Amino acid sequence: MSGASIPADIDLVRQAYPLIDVRAPVEFAQGALPGAVNLPLLNDDERHQVGLAYKKRGQAAAIKLGEKLVSGEVKAGRLAAWRSYLGRHPDALIYCFRGGLRSQIVQQWLAEAGSAPPRIEGGWKAMRQRLCGRVDAAVSQPMLVVSGLTGCAKTALINRLESGVDLEGFANHKGSAFGRMPEPPPPQVDFEHALARRLMSLSGPLTLEDESRQVGSVNIPLTFWQGMEKAPRIRVEMPLDWRLEQLQKDYIIDLERAHCARFGEEEGWQRMRQQLGNALLRLKKRLGSARLARLQRLQELAFAAHESGDRQAHEAWLAPLLTEYYDPMYRYHLKRHQEAGLRELHVGDWESCLGAAREWQAEHMPASG
């Protein structure tokens, strides 16, 4: 059983080749290659049965069972799905976990039906190794980290730069306990692959936001994060009123809009309210019971005013949350970095930091030609 194959190479992702992932849905859900569509050879239950047969009776028995499970109308339906996708994307490639039996079977069936796309040698595993290698290699590129108190619009600054790498965007999380979005977060694998994909387009400097290693439910790859921790910084300093306005946008206006877009007005409002309440509750250990109770009362009053059209009422609980919790925590973090001797290239307001970041970016761009 054989067919055309091509070597695993991150250029396949860079060039945005259409990809058919023939692994089972449960495997695909744990992480796939960027831009892949899941059109499996075996569904989850079939894969489980074939796996048991392989363990108990060996490969030949497993293949025989697979052919029995995926035959007749089932086989015809899967062939139709693959051929339909290939009809729309004739340059598509196929892959399975290691580029072995499953992708070869799909390739053979498609060849018998009149068309056989190439498969990726080594499959998902080989491609993942190369994508992770691109992330690790990025530590050799110049890095600049943008730091600042919560609400200083650091992510917006990052996204104004050609060299910007938006880790929170890849994590689908706005940072902090309150940054969870209504859309589910990506699996760790998909976060890493999205980061690798962005890094492929950046051969020169990288500008990133100051992050702890965990962003929402995912972790920044260790080697990459260690590179960030050693990088020089610029620090955004903005007054409390400006920061509160930014938090209103991020954690109230945008969050409400995102929830309502996904769940409808009524359910979206309730889910957004529940999310912010739960986020506050998760800080109980650090806030202490008395402070938590006070902030919860203020939050409830703010939601009541919000329902009457007054979104500004949220400042009553957001302001003490910043000044009593997030700001002291950040200043402790800043002190540690200063004691470690990390360089601060610039400290100033948002516009001056954007200018400083652009100057640094220009200085570190590779020479053309």
Planar angle of CA 309, 311, 314, nearest 5 degrees: 140
Residues 146 and 111 in one domain: no
Residues 123 and 151 in one domain: no
What domain count does the chain have?
A: 2
Q: What is the predicted pLDDT for the residue at 179? A: 77
Residue 193 lies in a domain: yes
- For the chain, give the number of residues: 369
Residues 314 and 259 in one domain: yes
Which tokens go with 136?
A: 């690790």
- Domain end point (choices 100, 131, 162): 131
For the chain, give me the number of helices (H) and strands (E)?
A: 19, 12
CA distance 301 to 311: 11
Residue by residue, pLDDT tens for the chain (369 residues) are: 457 999 999 999 999 999 999 999 999 999 999 999 999 999 999 999 988 988 899 888 888 988 899 889 999 999 999 999 999 999 999 999 998 889 999 999 999 988 889 999 999 999 999 999 999 999 999 999 999 999 999 999 999 999 999 999 999 988 777 878 888 889 999 999 999 999 999 999 999 999 999 998 999 999 999 999 999 999 999 999 999 999 999 889 988 999 999 999 999 999 999 999 999 999 999 999 999 999 999 999 999 999 998 988 999 999 999 999 999 999 988 888 888 888 899 999 999 999 999 999 999 998 764
- Domain end point (choices 131, 152, 184): 131
What proportions of the chain, in percent to the nearest 5, are helix, strand and coil?
60, 10, 30
CATH for 34: 3.40.250.10
Residues 156 and 262 in one domain: yes
What is the value of pTM for the model shown? 0.91
Residues 77 and 222 in one domain: no
Which tokens go with 27?
A: 């495997």
Residues 116 and 263 in one domain: no
- Domain end point (choices 92, 110, 131): 131
Q: What is the predicted pLDDT for the residue at 87? A: 94
Residues 221 and 103 in one domain: no
* Per-residue CA distances from 110 to 28, 38, 75, 275 (Å): 21, 16, 11, 48
Residue found by looking up tokens 């995912």 in the block: 218
Roughly how many angstroms between the first and final C-alpha of the chain, as a whole number?
A: 47
- 154 CB-contact burial (10 Å; exposed 0-12 / middle 13-18 / buried 19+): buried
Catalytic-labelled residue, pool 96, 132, 152, 353: 96
Which tokens go with 67?
A: 């052919």
Is residue 96 part of the annotated active site? The answer reads: yes
Residues 149 and 267 in one domain: yes
Burial call 28-55: b when 16+ CB within 10 Å, e when fewer: beebbbbebeebbbbeeebbebbeebbe
Q: Domain range for residue 26?
A: 5-131
Residues 115 and 147 in one domain: no
Q: Are strands 214-215 and 206-209 parallel, antiparallel or unpaired?
A: unpaired
DSSP 15: T
